[in-house]
């Protein structure tokens, strides 16, 4: 519990069998009430390893739904299981699970609704092995987003983040992409609805076992980020209206995880 609020860790997993135990070992289990792993049709034995580690809920997609699609299932399950604070931890050991408590307390304090663990704060980004082209594109895209969204963050592209239950119930997440740009759409939605967004510094490690999208997929993601930022600004100017930024958009439907091709692993 964090300040009498139920804390859930969700793990969107894909081929994470080799790193999952390391991540579980580093989680602060004394404060985590629930752990949920969603296996997005991995080609390895991620689900079997997760069961052996006695993770609270292990669900496997019958087909690959993509990174955003995986998160939709993660958050739906977390809400169904009574979470008040939800922290997303990647099971590939790129981000330090030891910071779950610090991130969750930023939410539990009541000061923030969304918390992002930034790889940029603290000047340790390149030390962790981030390729220079990823670092430069990260800085460019972040500057562009800060300009068009009218907020100031050090990074929009981290996969280590936390949300209040209210945020997950309010954002129209079913309007979002099932691909990697889902993360950016969530931030745009949170900014649009005036949720309080905070950041914390987080070291990361890039090695052979850490997942990383290809250069081609990164380019596609970059253009998706630019599109989200431009659409956000056009909506703010009243020049267009998009469902993913509408408070009336489609929210997560509790009890719908089975409709997304998910089953208990």
Q: What is the pLDDT of residue 259?
A: 54
Locate 106 and state its tokens: 């930023």
Q: Looking at residue 211, what is its pLDDT?
A: 58
* R_g of the chain, CA atoms, integer Å: 17
Apex 159 CA angle, 154 and 162, nearest 5: 85
Q: What is the pLDDT of residue 215?
A: 79
Q: Does domain 7-240 have CATH number 3.40.50.2300?
A: no
Q: Report the DSSP beta bridge partners of residue 264.
A: 59
The structural domains of the chain, with segments of one domain joined by +, span 7-240
The whole-model pTM stands at 0.93
Burial 50-78 (b: 16+ CB within 10 A, else e): beeeebebbbbbeebbbbbbbbbbbbbbb
Residues 6+ apart with CB under 8 A from 245: 172, 188, 189, 192, 231, 232, 235
Could you give the CA distance from residue 225 to residue 240 in angstroms, rounded to a whole number? 18
Instruction: Compute φ and ψ for 22, nearest 5 degrees.
Output: -60, -45
Each of the 265 residues of the chain gets a pLDDT tens digit; together they read 899 999 999 999 999 999 999 999 999 999 999 999 999 999 999 999 999 999 999 999 999 999 999 999 999 999 999 999 999 999 999 999 999 999 999 999 999 999 999 999 876 667 667 788 888 999 999 999 999 999 999 999 999 999 999 999 999 999 999 999 999 999 999 999 999 999 999 988 876 655 567 778 899 999 999 999 999 999 999 999 999 999 899 999 887 666 556 766 6
Would you state the pLDDT for residue 240?
A: 93
Between β-strands 7-13 and 197-201, what pairing exists: parallel, antiparallel or unpaired? unpaired
| Measured distance CA(146)–CA(21) in Å, rounded | 37
């Amino acid at each position: 519990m964090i300040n009498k609020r139920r804390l859930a860790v969700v793990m969107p997993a894909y081929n994470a069998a080799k790193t999952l135990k390391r991540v579980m070992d580093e989680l602060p289990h004394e404060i985590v009430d629930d752990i949920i792993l969603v296996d997005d049709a991995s080609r390895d034995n991620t689900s079997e390893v997760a069961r052996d580690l006695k993770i609270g809920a292990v669900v496997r997609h019958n087909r690959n739904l993509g990174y955003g699609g995986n998160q939709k299932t993660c958050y739906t399950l977390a809400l169904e299981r009574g979470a008040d604070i939800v922290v997303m931890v990647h099971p590939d050991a790129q981000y330090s699970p030891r910071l779950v408590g610090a991130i969750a307390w930023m939410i539990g304090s009541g000061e923030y609704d969304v918390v992002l663990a930034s790889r940029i704060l603290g000047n340790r980004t390149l030390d962790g092995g981030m390729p220079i082209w990823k670092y430069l594109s990260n800085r460019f895209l972040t500057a562009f987003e800060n300009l068009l969204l009218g907020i100031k963050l050090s990074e929009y592209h981290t996969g280590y983040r936390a949300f209040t239950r209210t945020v997950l119930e309010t954002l129209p997440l079913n309007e979002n992409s099932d691909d990697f740009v889902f993360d950016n759409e969530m931030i745009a939605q949170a900014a649009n609805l005036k949720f309080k967004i905070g950041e914390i510094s987080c070291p990361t490690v890039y090695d052979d076992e850490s997942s990383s999208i290809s250069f081609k997929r990164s380019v596609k993601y970059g253009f998706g980020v630019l599109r989200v930022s431009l659409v956000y600004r056009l909506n703010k100017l009243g020049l267009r209206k998009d469902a993913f930024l509408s408070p009336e958009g489609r929210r997560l439907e509790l009890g719908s995880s089975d409709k997304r091709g998910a089953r208990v692993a």
